[in-house]
Structure 1
Amino acid sequence: MDWNVWFVLLLAYLFGAIPAGAWVARYYGVDIQKVGSGNTGATNILRTLGAGPAVVVAVFDVFKGGIAVLLARLFNIEGPLLGGVALAAVLGHNYSVFLRFTGGKGVATSFGTLLFLDPLVALLAFPVGILTMWLTRFVSAGSMVGGLAAVVITIALGRPFWEILTVLLLAGLIFWTHRENIKRLQAGNERRLGDKTGVAEAPQTDSVTR
């Protein structure tokens, strides 16, 4: 790989690493990693600060992944290397250098990368995740089912192997970062959408899965 590719991969990681959730919460005087789930994503922002800040964080997290893919294409990066850029952006979000390599769970950023990588797959998988979330009221369930749907759709549409592998790895990261949620779903004590979180509440998850 030439230096342009390494440069774009680094930029993709840094774009993904921008901790919008932590910075928005800090504006409100809250350390988001010390409340609720400790997650910096939009769901914890919603439970802690409300819908307005959550929408801001969600939109930013989606488009920082998309911008990483768009930037790579401006450098004429396609194929497997483009998949690597998408993964770098999501890894940046999950393990942000600005948050001592902690962060969010990568769902919105994964959607953003996929939206720019393959809009049809993203737009077909999105309603599956949303419907699951609406029926179960579990954001975690909707996130994981949406990730699985993206894999199935990518295969069904006959996309190139590198794209299938990229989407599979993105879905795998979603399941990995939701491993504590899976345990809580099995135990029957996972929070449902709409549940509120007090700012004094201790995080539910360890620092690795935030």
Structure 2
Amino acid sequence: MIIEILLVLGAYLLGSISSAIIVCKLMRLPDPRTQGSNNPGATNVLRIGGKKAAAITLLGDMLKGLIPMLIAHLFTDSPLILALTAMAAFLGHLYPLFFGFQGGKGVATALGVQFGLHWAVGGSVALVWLFMAKVLNISSLAALVSMALAPVFVWYFWPAPELIAMQVVMSIILFWRHRSNIQNLLQGGEGKISKDQEAE
């Protein structure tokens, strides 16, 4: 039980390390919480700091989800523990302990979690995102579609009730975090990827 608690706690603490804020500080860029969309995510870092800073942020956010899941797999195959570890890493990104509980929207960290859970789940979500982004050229809509389908991919590749429930909850939270993007989509005002619109 102690190991399981440490896995979940460690996942939250790792998730709480804000890649966007750290990258911006190291590269002497403005705090992403006070510039652009005020969101500490890769898209906002792209807006205020360019492609290199955004790429490092994106990688960091994905690793926050991937690493805890890979470590968890070393100790357990319990769907419940894996689900709790996944949610802890994800919630750590959304509500980081070290940065005033002001985190990003969670797409990259969720994708990292999905790759860590099962490579085919992460790969399927990523392929849907890439396809939708190519067709629609709207990052937030591509993210929403891919995350809406994520529970189906979990069900297909690892049909454990705990994992399906985890992904359903995660997808619902992602939709809630993207409510401003959804409003813009409904009003026809959501920006295109080429214009660095907010998604993560």
Q: CA deviation at 1:3?
A: 2.5
Partner of 1:131: 131
| Letter of the structure 2 residue corresponding to residue 47 of structure 1 | R
Instruction: Extract unaligned runs of 5+ from structure 1.
Output: 198-203, 205-209
Q: Which has the higher contact order (CA 8 A, sep 6+)?
A: 1
| Letter of the structure 2 residue corresponding to residue 136 of structure 1 | L
Contact 2:62 2:113 in 1 (8 A): yes
TM-score computed with the length of structure 1 as normaliser:
0.87
Q: CA deviation at 1:152?
A: 2.1
Partner of 1:61: 61
Partner of 2:142: 142
Partner of 2:170: 170
CA–CA distance in structure 2, aligned partners of residues 133 and 46 of structure 1:
17
Question: 1:34 aligns to what SS in structure 2?
Answer: coil
Q: Kindly report which structure 2 residues correspond to 1:19-98, keeping only aligned pairs within 5 A, or say none.
A: 19-26=18-25, 27-76=27-76, 78-98=78-98
Q: How many matched pairs?
A: 198
Q: CA deviation at 1:77?
A: 5.5
Q: Deviations over 1:66-85 (max 9, x none)?
A: 11112222333621111110
Calculate percent identity across the aligned residue pairs.
31
Q: CA deviation at 1:157?
A: 4.3
Structure 1 window deviating more from structure 2 (85-94 vs 130-139): it is 130-139
Contact 1:47 1:195 in 2 (8 A): no
Partner of 1:101: 101
Quick one: structure 1 residues 157 and 70, their matched pair in 2 at CA, closer, same or farther if it must change by over 3 Å? closer
Partner of 1:12: 11
Question: 1:105 aligns to what SS in structure 2?
Answer: coil
Quick one: structure 1 residues 156 and 78, their matched pair in 2 at CA, closer, same or farther if it must change by over 3 Å? closer
Contact 2:16 2:92 in 1 (8 A): yes
Q: Deviations over 1:142-190 (max 9, x none)?
A: 1111111222223344622222112212211211111111111112222
Question: 1:191 aligns to what SS in structure 2?
Answer: coil
| Letter of the structure 2 residue corresponding to residue 162 of structure 1 | E
Contact 1:5 1:77 in 2 (8 A): no
Question: 1:189 aligns to what SS in structure 2?
Answer: coil
| Letter of the structure 2 residue corresponding to residue 109 of structure 1 | T
TM-score computed with the length of structure 2 as normaliser:
0.91
Partner of 1:201: none
Contact 1:69 1:117 in 2 (8 A): yes
Aligned-CA RMSD value: 1.9
Quick one: structure 1 residues 58 and 123, their matched pair in 2 at CA, closer, same or farther if it must change by over 3 Å? same
Q: CA deviation at 1:115?
A: 0.2
